Every structure is written in C-alpha cells, then in structure tokens.
Amino acid sequence: MRQRRFPIVTAIVLGLTAVAELLQWTVRGWGPALERDPNGLAWSHWWRLFSPLLTQMASPGVSGTAQFVSNMVFLAVIGVGAERVLGPRWWLVGYVVGGVVGQATGYWLEPPGGGTSVAILGVAALFAMAVALGAPAPAVSLMFVGYFLAAITLTNLTSWIAAVAVIVIGGWLYQFARGRWPRRADLALIGVAVLAAAVLIGIGDHHGWAFAAGMALTPLYRLSRQRRTRTSDCLDREPDLVT
C-alpha cells in the first residue's frame, strides 16, 4: 500500500499565514502597509501585488478574526486534499496564480483589502479540474471547495444565514448522492463550484477571477500529467539489466 506523503506545502503556508496574522495583531500599521492600496498599484509599490496575501483585512460585515479563521480552515481542508492529488509543485502554482490574479483584479474591483482566500481558490480550482479529469477525489476536501464558493457567493447575494443553510443542505445532498453515484456527485459539485465562480465574476467579485485563473491552468496540468504517465510507462517497459 502506497504511503501518503505529509502535506508539507500546505503546512508551511498555514504556518506563514498564522505568523502574518499574529504580526497584524501585534505590529501597528501591518495591515494597511500590506493591503491593496486604495490609490492603485504603482510601479514603485510592485510588491503590493503579493503582500495582500499576508494580511487578513475584514470583508464588509465580517470581522478580520472571523475571516482569518475561516480562511485557515478552508486552506487546511482543501489544501491537504489538493496536495495529495496535485502534488506540491502544482499546489504552489495554483496558489501563486490564484493569489496574483485575485489581488490584481481586486485592485480593479475591490480596493482596498487583502487576504489568502483568492490564493486558496486558485488551488481549489486546479484541484477540482484534476478531479474532473479523473484524479481520485478526497471527498471532504472537494466538498469544502463547494462550501467555500457557496459561502462567498451567497453572502454577496443574500446573507450569511442563507449561506449556512444552503451549505448544510448541499453538504447532506452531496454525501447522500456520493454514496450511490460517486463520480456523478463529484462532477455535479464541481459544476456548482464553476457556476458560483461565474456568478462572482458577473457581480464584480474578484474571488471569481481567482477561481477562473486556477481553472485556466488545467491544460498545462493535464499536459504535465500525460508526460509523467508516458515517462512512467516507458520506465516500466524497460527490460531489467542483467549484470
């Protein structure tokens, strides 16, 4: 039986995010110094394209602490399953691309602000697409991809109470369907996640663009996986050397 590798990248990113949050609580001006600049992204402040990932600025109606805790939970649950499927390198690619695209569109749509949610969605999108391509799906991690997008979308459109209600009902329906039609249930959940991301793009929320950026990595990920499979097959066919 193949031993599962420790999700080292997920653990490192969780640790760095926790340290950054501690600094936000203890160092005066940490958040404003790293958040998206409401005056726009200047060439002299190019680092502000990445630095918003290191500060958890509160969304409207949500405390900074609540946002930090929710992001950490989603990062942990989605990240572990995604790293098992994608591997550490593609996990990092999804995180960086989702984070950069999410913060870049945030300058256009929602300055000021900051947070790791867009980077998590980049990982979540590539993870979901890998499952759609046939990779084995860690059910809890995939379910949390749907939770994350549903929470963001419904909070934007209605309220957090409606978001919680839909998440609870949707989670039960997913588990019920997965017990009978696992592949169909996974694809249906991925379809709901993609639809939610499209809605977010339509209403001008930068989280939707972060998810779309992760999805856009799918052809490169698929090509990489095909090359890895061909290399593995060639090695398996090589005759043993007789000494």
- 115 conformational bin, left if phi > 0, alpha if psi -120 to 50, beta if neither: left
Q: What is the pTM of this model?
A: 0.89
Q: Report the chain's C-alpha Rg in angstroms.
A: 19
Query: Where exactly are the structural domains of the chain?
Result: 8-39+50-217
Tokens of 200: 């977010």
Question: 22-31, long-range: CB within 8 Å, 24+ apart, which pairs?
Answer: 24/55, 24/56, 24/64, 30/55, 31/55, 31/56, 31/57, 31/64, 31/114
Instruction: Give the bridge partners for 193, in sequence order.
Output: none
In order, the DSSP letters of 105-147 are: HHHHHS-SB--SHHHHHHHHHHHHHHHHTT----HHHHHHHHH
Q: Whole-angstrom Cα distance, residue 153 to residue 208?
A: 9
Report pLDDT digits (tens) over 158-178: 887 888 898 899 999 999 999
- Residue 243: pLDDT band with limits 50, 70, 90: very low
Report pLDDT digits (tens) over 130-162: 999 999 889 999 999 999 999 999 988 888 788
